Amino acid sequence: MTTAGDIMHRGAQWIPAHETLDRAAQLMRELGVGALPISDENERLCGILTDRDIVIGCVAMGRDPSKVTAGDMAQGTPRWIESDADISDVLREMQDHQIRRLPVIEDKRLVGMISEADLVLNLRQDDVAHWAESVYARTGTPTTR
C-alpha cells in the first residue's frame, strides 16, 4: 500500500498566521515552493497561502503585502491528510475539494506536502490523468489551495 507519507515532499514549513505576506513571499522563494501551510499560535493548520493568493488577493487589490498577514488570507476550512493514509484517500481528498496541494500531518504535526508534481512522480499515468480530469474539469481550473 502506498501512503501519503511515501509520496509527500518532506521538509514543508509553516508560515505563522501573524507573518506578513512579504515575509511569506521571501520564504517561498527561499524554499522554492509556491504554497505554505498557515499555522495558528498552537501550530495547528488554519489555512494554506499560495503565491497566487499573494498576487491576486493582495497586490492586485492595491494592498500592501508588508501590512497584510498570512492569517488575513486564510479562507475556508483547511484540508489535510494523515501520513499513513492510503494514496486513494489522498486522491479523493484532492479531487473532492479541487485542491492541488495537500499538507501531510503525523502526530498532529506538519511533516510534508503533496503537490501535483508529487502525484506525477509517484503514480501511474492513468491515475494522474484521472485525478487531473476530475480536478480541472469541474471549473476549468482548480482552486489554488
Domain carrying residue 131:
4-137
Tens-binned pLDDT, residue by residue, of the chain (145 aa): 889 999 998 988 999 999 999 999 999 999 999 999 999 888 888 999 999 999 999 999 999 999 999 999 987 788 999 999 999 999 999 988 888 899 999 988 899 999 988 888 888 888 878 878 877 775 555 544 5
Identify whether 15 is part of a domain: yes
Residue 25 lies in a domain: yes
pTM for the model stands at: 0.82
d(CA 59, CA 51): 11
| Residue-level pLDDT at 121 | 86
Gap between the Cα atoms of 126 and 122, Å rounded: 12
Q: Examine residue 84 and state whether it is found in any structural domain, yes or no.
A: yes
For 67, the grid coordinates are 501590512
Name the domain count of the chain: 1
Domain presence at residue 143: no
CATH code, domain with 44: 3.10.580.10
